[in-house]
A and B are shown apart, each in its own frame.
Chain A
Amino acid sequence: MDSVIEINLLIRAFNEMLLGLRRKLGPFLVTLLMVSLSFMVFDIFIAVSWNLQTVLREEQENVGVEVFLEPSVTQAAALTLADLISTMDGVRSVYYVSSDEAELVFRADLPDQAGLLDLMGSSFRLPASVQVSLHTDHRTDDRVVPLARTLSGMQGVEDVIYGEEYLPGLTSAVNILARLVLLAGLVLAVSLSLIVANTVRLAVAEKSLTVEIMSIVGAPGWFVRLPFIGEGIVTGLLGSAGSLLFTAVISLVLSPTVPHRFLPGQWIAGVLLLGTCAGTIGSWIGMRSGIPRPRA
Chain B
Amino acid sequence: MLIRMTGISRHYSEWPALRSIDLEVATGDFLVVSGPSGAGKTTLLRLIWMGDRPSKGVLEVAGYRSDRISQRDLPVLRRKLGIVFQDFRLLEERTVFDNVALPLQVAGTSPRVIRKRVFALLAEMELSHRRSSRPHELSGGEQQRVAIARAMVAHPVILLADEPTGNLDPEVSRRVIDLLLEINRSGTAVVLATHDPRQVPAGIARHLYLDKGELVDPGAWDGFGD
Contact = CB atoms under 8 A, between A and B. Distances in A.
A109 B105 CA distance: 79
B5 interface: no
A9 interface: yes
Interface in A1-28: 4-9, 12, 23
A216 B75 CA distance: 8
Given A209-B89, A294-B53, A296-B53, A218 B75 contact: yes
Contacts, number: 66
B186 interface: no
Contact of A221 (B75, B79, B110): B75
A105 interface: no
Contact of A213 (B81, B102, B110, B154): B102
Interface string B101-131: 0110111111100000000000000000000
B76 interface: yes
Contacts of A161: none
Contacts of A214: 102, 106
Interface centre among A5, A23, A218 (most CB of B within 10 A): A218
Contacts of A23: 93
B108 A8 contact: yes
A87 interface: no
Contacts of A210: 91
Given A209-B89, A209-B91, A216 B51 contact: yes
A220 interface: yes
A155 to B, nearest CB: 78
A4 B71 CA distance: 22
Interface in B55-93: 71-72, 75-79, 81, 83, 89, 91, 93
A217 B78 contact: yes
Given A4-B110, A12-B105, A12-B106, A217 B150 contact: yes
Contacts of A223: 106
A149 interface: no
B118 to A, nearest CB: 13
A77 interface: no
A118 B142 CA distance: 110
A24 to B, nearest CB: 10
A219 B106 contact: yes
A213 B108 contact: no
B108 A216 contact: no
A296 B50 CA distance: 11
Nearest to B153: A217
B79 to A, nearest CB: 4
Nearest to A224: B106
B103 A218 contact: yes
Contacts of A213: 89, 91, 102
Contact of A220 (B53, B75, B93, B109): B75
Given A217-B103, A218-B78, A218-B79, A12 B108 contact: yes
20 contacts: A4-B108, A5-B109, A8-B111, A9-B107, A212-B89, A213-B91, A217-B78, A217-B83, A217-B102, A217-B103, A217-B150, A218-B75, A218-B76, A218-B79, A218-B81, A220-B75, A221-B75, A223-B106, A294-B50, A294-B53
Interface of B: 49-53, 71-72, 75-79, 81, 83, 89, 91, 93, 102-103, 105-111, 150, 154
Given A5-B109, A8-B108, A213-B102, 18 more contacts: A5-B107, A7-B108, A8-B110, A12-B106, A12-B108, A210-B91, A213-B89, A214-B106, A216-B49, A216-B51, A216-B78, A217-B83, A217-B102, A218-B75, A218-B107, A220-B106, A223-B106, A294-B51
Which 5 A-B residue pairings sit nearest by Cβ, starting from the closest? A5-B108, A219-B106, A218-B79, A218-B78, A217-B103
Interface of A: 4-9, 12, 23, 209-210, 212-221, 223, 294-296
